[in-house]
Each structure stands twice: as structure tokens, then as C-alpha cells.
Amino acid sequence: MSRSAFEALLGFHGAPTFAGEKPAVLLSFKKSQFEDFDAMLASFTPCFRCKGISVLRLVEGEEYVLVLFYRARRIARFVKRADARALLRSCGYDDDAPLAELLAELQRRMEIKKTFPHETGIFLGYPPEDVRGFIEHRGKDFALSGYWKVYGNPDAARALFARYTACSEEFCKKLDDGARFEDLVVAS
């Protein structure tokens, strides 16, 4: 995969995060699609670092890698909310742990269980009431489905989903029109 194709992939799936609208995105990559995935991802590190975006390989196998792109300050503030902390505590996370330790625990759970812990939604900035609803209803009986399954406030989620979609369309159009990916990524 070429650099421009990688940028298009990042833009299509992660524009709301890279444009500063959403605190995090989790993307899966098939490493064999790249001549050198590690080098490709590393080539974006200076851009991400200077724009306040952290990159964490949550799980990596021989063929696939699951990468979390996140704005650490925004996620750290989000997980300090009482409702987010309560949900994480109910899932077995240390209530007083800083973000780095919470992410390390998430990473450990993904590696050990070989499953996708539903509390991951908290680290993606999903409303805690929706994450809790997903866990309690086992992904069923939701009010709205879009970027995530909504159990709490479908009107607010619908508006946010529309913002995310518009952001993605605009980001991708600018890339198609020749804008540099680095120039489209917003600093936090």
C-alpha cells in the first residue's frame, strides 16, 4: 500500500479523530498489504506527536495489528468523569489509575482474553451510558446504531454522527484534492 493509500485509509476511518472532533479511533491493519507496515506507521509519528496524537498498538498478531490513535489529554479527562470511572471500575479497572495504566490494562485484557472488551468504548470517547447499555443488553435493543450502538440519547448521538460523517467527507475530499495529510491533522 502506498503512502497516499495509507493516508486515504486513515482519513476515511479516522478523520473525526485526526480533525480534532473525536478523541480516539481504533483501526485494524493487515500488515501484508504494506511493504513495511512498521516503517509506514513510524513515518507518521512526527506528525502525530506534534499534533497531540498518541499511537498504541493494542494487539498485534502475525498478520493483523489493532492500533489506537488517541488524544491523550482528552481521553484522560474523559475517563476521570464519574460515570466513566464507575463503568471502568465495574469492569475491574483500578479506580485511581492514570490513563497509561488503564490503557495497559485494556491491552493486557485484549491479549489474554483474545476478545474485544466492551469497555473499549470508554477509551474511544463513547458515552458511558451507551457502553453500559451495550454491555447490559449484549448489543441488542439499542435505540440507534451508527459509529456505536446508542442506548442513551439518540438525538444527541444522531447529531454527533452527522458531524463525524461530514468531517470524514470533508477530510477525504481535501485529501483527494491534494491537501497534505499532515496539514489536515489538527493539533490538540
Q: What is the pLDDT of residues 78-121, one digit of tens each?
A: 999 999 999 999 999 998 899 999 999 999 999 887 678 999 99
- 124-162 pLDDT, tens digit per residue, is 999 999 999 999 999 999 999 999 999 999 999 999 999
In degrees, to the nearest 5, what angle opens at C-alpha 81 toward C-alphas 99 and 111?
35
Task: Report which of residues 167 and 114 the model is more confident about.
Answer: 167
In whole angstroms, what is the distance from residue 92 CA to residue 72 CA?
Answer: 21
- 58-86 pLDDT, tens digit per residue, is 999 999 999 999 999 999 999 999 999 99
Q: Is residue 16 scored above 80 in pLDDT?
A: yes
Among 82, 38, 85, 79, smallest CA distance to 57 is for 38
In whole angstroms, what is the distance from residue 143 CA to residue 78 CA?
Answer: 23
For cell 483501526, the residue is: 27
